[in-house]
């Protein structure tokens, strides 16, 4: 699923970053178009993505894919949606998800972590912009007890029975702490999880500076994880 803070982008957004996956793994890559805030408030976004998962599962033979080896992933907002879709699939007893690939996922509507405060007004995507985005996604309810775990997966207390998960985030990303906390919760709940925190890297570093040494290392680490999972 594409990024864009749940408020912008489309199915072609950064689609090129998935081409190496399709080529190296001989995989079918499908990008889901989902409704955006503020025109459509939550849970429209995660429900659209879940509908996409169901469609893929139902049409697996036509698409030439193994329905038992569907990997759900996304970057930034798309990573948060991927986590939400996995929770929905678990709780609705929906299509099986083989693995989750979460690249600097947007998980926490509360926006109160140390890293969020560190980068509140610093960077091309910072805490101030993140709060504004969540306010559009959750008008009048952001930070309240009424927010669904499927919309803000960091609120989930039980992450058991989620598929193997890889999380990658930069140390200079406002999402750093919520992503690390999510990985810790996965381990606490007995889920096979891998976490990479890249020193000095900011939000979207692998896309904005794809030739940087650390970006190349991050993309390679995710690819190696995919290869191990799919063996």
Q: Which residues are catalytic?
A: 76, 173, 203
Following DSSP, what letter does each residue of 98-111 receive, concatenated? -EEEEES----TT-
Backbone angles phi, psi at 167, to 5 degrees: -120, 130
172 contacts 119 by C-beta, under 8 angstroms:
yes
Distance CA 98, CA 164 (A): 7
In Å, what is the CA distance from 63 to each residue of 46, 178, 198? Answer: 22, 35, 35
* Three-class DSSP category at 226: helix
The position carrying tokens 């199915």 is 11
């Amino acid at each position: 699923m594409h990024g864009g803070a749940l408020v912008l982008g489309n199915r072609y957004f950064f689609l090129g970053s998935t081409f190496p996956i399709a080529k190296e793994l001989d995989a079918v890559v499908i990008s889901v178009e989902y409704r955006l805030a503020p025109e459509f408030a939550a849970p429209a976004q995660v429900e659209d993505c879940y509908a996409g998962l169901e469609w893929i599962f139902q049409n697996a033979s036509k698409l030439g894919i193994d329905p038992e080896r569907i990997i759900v992933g996304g970057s930034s907002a798309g990573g948060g949606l991927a986590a939400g879709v996995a929770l929905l699939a678990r709780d609705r007893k929906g299509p099986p998800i083989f693995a989750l690939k979460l690249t600097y996922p947007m998980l926490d509507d509360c926006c109160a972590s140390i890293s969020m405060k560190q980068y509140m007004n610093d960077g091309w995507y910072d805490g101030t912009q993140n709060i504004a985005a969540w306010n559009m996604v959750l008008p009048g309810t952001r930070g309240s007890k009424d927010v669904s775990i499927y919309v803000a997966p960091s609120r989930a207390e039980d992450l058991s029975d989620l598929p193997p998960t890889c999380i990658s985030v930069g140390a200079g990303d406002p999402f750093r702490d919520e992503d690390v906390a999510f990985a810790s919760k996965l381990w606490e709940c007995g889920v096979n999880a891998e976490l990479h925190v890249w020193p000095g890297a900011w939000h979207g570093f692998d896309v904005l500076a794809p030739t940087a040494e650390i970006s190349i290392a991050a993309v390679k680490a995710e690819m190696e994880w995919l290869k191990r999972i799919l063996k």
